[in-house]
Structure 1
Amino acid sequence: MPNFYKFVIAVVFALGVPTVVLATHQVGGQIEMRAVGDKPGHFFIIVTNYLEAGTRADREAGGSLGIFRKRDDALMTTFVVRETGQRQSVVYSNTFCSSQRNLNFIVVTFQDELQLDPAMYSDPQGYYISFQTRNRNGGLANIADPTGTGFTFYLEFPALLQNGQHFSNSSPRFGPINGEYICAGEPFTFPFGGTDPDGDELRYSMVTPLDQKGPNRGGGQNSVLPAPYPDVNWLSGFSADKAIPGNPPLSVDPKTGQLSITATQLGLFVFAVKVEEYRNGVKIGEVRRDFQFLVIDCPPTTTPDPTVQIKDRPGRRDTTICQGNTATLLAKIDTSWNYQWRRDGVNLLNATSPSLTVREPGEYTVVVSPKAACSKSSTSESLTIIVVGSQAKLSTVGHLCATTGAVKITATGATGVTYQWYQDGRPLPGQTTDSLLTTRAGRFWSVLTHTTVGCVTRTDTVSLVRSEAVVAAIQSATGQARLCPQETLRLTGSGGTRYAWQHDGQPVPDVTSADLDINQTGTYVLVATDGYGCQGTSSPFTVTPVPPVTVLFDSLPGVCGPDAPAYLLKGSPAGGVFTGTGVDGSEFSPKRAGVGNHTLTYTVKAAPECKGTVATRMAVVAPIPTIDMADSMSTYKGNTFTLAPAVTGNPTQFQWTAGTYLDNDRSATPAVQRIGADITYVLDVQNNVGCAARDTIHITVYSQLGIPDAFSPNGDGLNDVWQLPGIEAFPDAVITIFNRWGEVIFLSDKGYPLPFDGTLNGSPLPAGMYTYTLRTVPERPVQRGSLMLLR
């Protein structure tokens, strides 16, 4: 069996019925975004989808798309496209080859109409639309896991509002795609470019196709998810620039979008082209187009050589006909040939006869191939059909505002004609050039008369309507036309996309936004400009001043302790609000507030929308002082010491009575100097609020210390310990007792707190004479004496 037929059988097995039954395979497609043209933000979103024909394709009915902001991938909106129009088959020039390889593709168009708010689509980085679906052809030879790989349609578009003006733009448009296969080893070209309805520059480059994103990758669900979208996984040796191996490999002309290759490997290959849209050298949009080609081994059959002519125009390669008339194209007749006519390089549906009657302008060719072989085809020379008036289209520049504006209408695409312009069916006298400048609304067209052929045709119609009047309005943030003292007031304009402010007849510089913060009274006027450049002027908005208010808050009495009774707060003018700890309405409660210094306020608004003017007072709930001082104490005559009572309640005034022996009877800690006799002191304290306390101490003064010379520790309850009357007057006194050998048998703590009981380490000492020393205060000499211990 020849290699060619072996390959045909293999391809039919790989691309045939089993794969069609399992899935609807994506062949290619793209998204288009067409401005309707009647108002800003009004678009048709069109998804062109090339599918393998089959029962699964019959059930495809559209899906959900999302619009995202490029800057942060935020979702702006979702919408659903549904099928529109008639499904069309992809036409192959050699039907024998396409049927042998089960190349049965259809074109399905999904569409939705959107009204986008330009103000919401003003981000300078632009936006993108994505449509994710499943899944690719299992016979693809250049990517991994093709049946598990999805498909992401992708389009970028610019901000709809730029510098306060509407930005008009449609994405590139793409015509029908021919059904073609590539013969290995033969140069092959394919028109894959588009046109831009706005005249923008298009730049083409090869890119890696996009996979579907998310958990439903390759599955049956249509997800709406933001970028980034994963690339398909190329098999080893393949890439965006080597999607189809060849010498050279598959490439795209960066200016025209024409694909070219001389393939060196057989198989089915997927590829993608990025179409970037530039205006004035700046990129404004992008579309990705996916498709796939089959490379076959064409047998060395003699290529047919078709000849073509225009009927009744022998020797002519072009002819001119009037719009509505026809011309017949004739090709050499050979019953063994397939015929496929093309217009401007695109296969025409059901145009498979040796002759073709045409009424549309274009470059016509016929592709001829053997009926019973998959071989190289042959393309005839082109025949040019010129239809007078068919290319005359109207374009407009300008806009009709509610009462102003002008539009220039220009007829383009026609040559060798004269013009007569019409409005609403009436000819416009003297308007006989290729353009018309009008300030009126209506339906306009031009009648063209060809100067040589004599054809009379009519252009398409342009309907001009005036846009609604720009209604400029000013509103304040408070809803009032008055300015509060020492405050700013925000004025907000509406009605346009750009604004100019005036204050008392003078322009406010450097403000073009809708918001204006003012701190001056007067009359303000707003000029609003919409996205078309139409303007409207607001009514004057006069801002008057709110008179300032002087707020007074009566002084507050200090109170002693939280149990003091509540009292009324007083402020002026009336109608204000008291606030602060312990405040309830206009009453202050020391009990609710507690001890401390509490800041209270009285707030009065000059007007309901103004910030309050505030007066402040301090409410003092003072603590009641306390004095912690011993009731009595003892000392010795001539001693000098300090009285240091512990006081609370923040007293600021101290008074001691009597003041005898004191160095300062108004001190919190006075010094008692060289006390000479018993005395009682009274201390009175008072804090700033007047809260007071009193305490007393009695001081006993000893002139000398009584020292007994004997005691009898015999347990009879009388003189069992050696008592020293008056020793409490000497808190630093230390007693030391010695035996007759000079050994210390007793040493007291300061103040002699535990009297000597005649024992040593718990054992009774023998009766007899003992000596002692007494140290009372450092400045006095040590007293010495004898002590008789009796049993």
Structure 2
Amino acid sequence: MMGHLPIFFRTGLILLLVLLAAAGARATHIVGGEMDLQRVAGNQYRLSLNLYFDALNGNAGALDQDLTASIFDKTTNRRMQDVVLPLIGNTLVAYSNIACTVPSLSTRRLIYSRLIELPSNVYTNGAGYYAAIERCCRNNGISNIQNPGDAGQTFYLEFPAVVRGGQPFLNSTPKIFPPLSDYACRGELFYYSFAGQDADQDSLVYELATPLNGHATPGLPKPPTAEPAPYAPIQWQPGLNVLNQIPGNPALTIDRISGRLQVLPQQLGLFVFGIKCSEYRKGMKIGEVRRDFQLQVLSCPRNTTPSMSMLLTGKTQPYRPGLDTLRLTTGTSRCLTLRFTDPDPTTTLSLSLNPVNFTGVLPTFSITKGLVQTAGAPDTLISRLCFPACLNTRGKVFLLDVIVSDDGCSLPKRDTLRVAFTSVPDPNGNPVISSTAGPARPLRARPGDLVTFTLTGTDPDNDPVTLEMTGRGFSPAAFGAQLSQAPVGSQTRGTFTWRVDCSAISKPVFEFEFTAAASPCNERQATSLVVPIQIDYSNQPPVLTTSLPPDSAGLPPLIRRRLGEVYEVALEGLDADPNPLVLTATGKSFDLAAAGITFTPQNGTGRATGTFRWTPDCEAVRQNGLEVTFRLQETTCLAQPQMRTVRLEVIPPVVPPFMPPNIFTPNGDDLNAFFRLPNLPPDFCDSRLGSIKVFSRWGNEVYRTTNRDFKWDGGNLPGGVYFYLVEYTDRRFKGTVTIAR
């Protein structure tokens, strides 16, 4: 049907729908808000907007599901990026005192947030950048600005470049203290802390600022993106300005350092105000955040300030602030009586303490809260304030504010009594330490000894005692000394143990300092005991004796024997100290048993013996001789072994000249009738006869034997020249022989 409507009618209908949508979106609802930018990791940041929404009068249709933030270069106003922030949180802002809730004030905190990237090769302008979100409109009921229902708001922050001097510049903007949902009462002081927190520990400075209006209008309440700066401010009502945003005596102020906001309002109404928090690093401003918010001033029932007095024990006159000084000493009472009155009915009074010029343990109240129960008549509460016996002002005068607060609305009324006092703690005796180490000092020990004794720590005031161990010029743990301890009744019992090892000979005397320590009133008291331990150590190297021949020209003696000819020698080691001795024999690159060698030691303290026995076999031949090292080792510190080395060789058999015959005559006269080789080299270890072969001149084998005592008559072979080959396992002989018939 829409397609058949006249063009002017369709256009008018669309315009009407747009206007209706705009009317819903422009509905006045904004209480205030602020932005923040927090670094997450690398070039990733979280950009967030906290928007405070009028939960009573705001149109639900104006609760946006997202808002768009725009980021600009501060120098050129160049648009860097636009970021759509989705709604991720929607909660009510709590009252400081829930009992002071009024039906005309309810605020929601809407959180819009998203992770964004700030590339280090893009965000490099030393002048920095700013982010803005524009939205309309503010509450109609605001009293201190002109046309509040048509006034928009620009949420604004500034941040530095992410790179400075070629290095990453890491920064997160300050987070302003959570918003208040409280109201102020006309004629009564209102205060609140807007102090922020900064993840980078930058310095924060607070000041009042005129809220920004910007470019959003009732006709365009939610621009698709923010325009670049400048942003027009809101227009104050006549007589008001940035330093007089909420009329009062005094008017609205904020402490530059603490962020404490206060005002004593003189007019009823709803007042918008602006706060700017600037962050400084090394004296240079690097960014800022702004918060706009509202404060409602109501006419409240009159709340009378409670009063307080203090009586000293045994005194009839109350304490006089500024004139009296409490002097808390041994034998005097450390408790005071506090009396509180409040003419308001059913008022609950709360007690608290604020140390003015000191830190540490505070006095305690017998009661910290009480109710005024009789309507229309004063009621008196009594509490005892007792100072700890340990408190020590060390001659200085400490100042303590004793505060009584009622539960009146919107903020409690207080009475403060400043108490000046000095305090000397009760006397306390030092702990005592004793040991079973005995009177003879120093204790004496040798490497290998176990030194142990008991230590006992006691305290005359039964304070808990801890035993401690230190070394004068050394660390006990580095040398293996230990101290274990446990409570035994009112005492602390410790056991010292030290297995003295060779590292101890580096120091002639070890002075162990043992301390019994107690901490009454958090002040250390200690008594020490020194136990010196002297290390006795001297050593003469052992002596190794043997019937081995002496070394010659620096070379070990040579022992030569024939195969099977046994060689035996005895060795003895003696130590004058005496220390445990171990005598060993080791072959150089061979196993003793595999070479026919046995070594039988008898090791002991101060003396060790050994019998060396060698039955020569072919292993010594294969190894081309054997080297055996005898080692006498004592068990003590820095021990140097005593060693002897011997070389063993096998005497080879005598080999006669090998002169084989070159002719034989098997002709029947029994003279020179056989071919024999009587002078063959004898078998020796791995050199053994394998075979004897005879060949014809055509290479045919005509005779073979493995018997070295063979006799060959030539058989029936015709006379002539023949060839013989004698093969050993490691060599061969060959030649010719002639058969002459």
TM range (shorter): 0.3 to 0.5
> TM-score if structure 1 supplies the norm length?
0.37
> TM-score if structure 2 supplies the norm length?
0.40
